[in-house]
């Protein structure tokens, strides 16, 4: 089991995955949160997919990938930019390459 704890000034979040390989993106997550004053976090409701047709897709990696493609398809159809696109990925890859180059110097 893997987890990712995020601590903020207004509270804490804990994302937990049953994944043994650390790949949080490809599994169903359990979300918990607290207001920062308690030592324990309480379960929170994970937002549902906004795409009704994805409810039929089995939970897990397949549904996660399907949701990403559905969101990207909606952006392309509506000419919006609500989700990261390939240009965003290119900028991130260039940033990482610049950081790696700077670290070697």
Name the residue among 87, 55, 92 with its Cα closest to residue 70. Answer: 55
Pairing of strands 42-43, 30-34: antiparallel
User: pTM of the entire structure?
Assistant: 0.48
Cα–Cα distance measured from residue 60 to residue 50, given in angstroms and rounded to the nearest whole number: 16
pLDDT digits (tens, 9 = 90+) for 76-104: 999 998 888 788 899 999 999 999 999 99
Most confident option among 14-18, 41-45, 100-104: 100-104
CA distance 72 to 84: 8
Strand partners, 13: 6, 33
Do the Cβ atoms of 68 and 86 come closer than 8 Å? no
């Amino acid at each position: 089991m893997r987890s990712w704890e995020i601590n903020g000034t207004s509270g804490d979040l804990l994302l937990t995955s049953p994944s043994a390989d650390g790949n949080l993106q490809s599994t169903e997550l359990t979300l918990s949160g607290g207001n920062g004053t308690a030592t324990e976090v309480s379960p929170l409701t994970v937002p549902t997919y906004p795409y009704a047709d994805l409810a039929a897709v089995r939970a897990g990696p397949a549904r996660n990938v399907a949701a990403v493609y559905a969101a990207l398809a909606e952006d392309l159809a509506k000419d919006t930019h609500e989700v990261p696109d390939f240009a965003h990925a290119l900028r991130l890859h260039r940033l990482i390459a610049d950081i790696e180059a700077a670290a070697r110097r």
